[in-house]
Amino acid sequence: MWKQLVLASSLMLGVNAGLVADDHGHHHHEGHDHSMHDHDMHDHHHHHPTPEMVAEMEFDKWNQLFNQGDSQGLAALYLEDATLSPGNGEILQGREAIAGLFQGFFDAGLFNHRIEITAVNFAYEMMSAIGHWHADVVNESGETVTYTGVLQVVFVENDDLEWDIGSHIWNMSE
């Protein structure tokens, strides 16, 4: 979806550039047609999400499922053969292993997961986001402790023009 929007806006820009260039040569060319295109371009520009916005939406979905304790729903956001490295020197592969890891976190009482994006790199059908994650847990003394660390997620666009996670890696600050 995002890609189509980008394509549409660059086409609109091209059309506009053509008209503007034309106007310099033929002043009588200005008129209704031109303003219509202007309006169109404005619309496309307006609805056109940045990579940051797209990543933000994906992470909102992720956090929501995590905070509902839905390990199967969470695993479904990953590619069938996705890799995940939880900062312990191990690499897990596949949805089953990923669901198992998250279920362990839910059993341990982790909640209120949130993500702050630092940067998003975007390429054809691929998007990589890096940022900080935070999650809370209530310790033995009944106090809420917050864990935090860095995460990097690589999203791959599928045939339905939706984003799947192909690779997810994080660490935890001591």
Q: What are 131's strand-pairing partners?
A: 117, 151
Task: Return the pLDDT at 45.
Answer: 52
Length of the chain, in residues? 174
Could you tell me the pTM of the whole model?
Answer: 0.72
Residue 33's pLDDT is: 52
pLDDT in single tens digits along all 174 residues of the chain = 444 444 444 444 444 444 444 444 544 444 555 444 454 554 445 577 899 999 999 999 999 999 999 999 999 999 999 999 999 999 999 999 999 999 999 999 999 999 999 999 999 999 999 999 999 999 999 999 999 999 999 999 999 999 999 999 999 997
Q: Which is it for the CA torsion 12, 18, 35, 50, positive or negative?
A: positive
CA-based max dimension of the chain: 79
Distance in angstroms (rounded) separating the CA atoms of residues 36 and 33: 5
Q: What is the pLDDT of residue 46?
A: 56
| Residue-range domains of the chain with CATH | 50-172 (3.10.450.50)
Closest CA to 104 of 138, 142, 71: 71
**Which amino acid type is present at position 87?**
G
Residues ≥6 apart with Cβ < 8 Å to 12: 37, 40, 41, 44
Amino acid 30 reads E
pLDDT at 158 (0 to 100)? 93
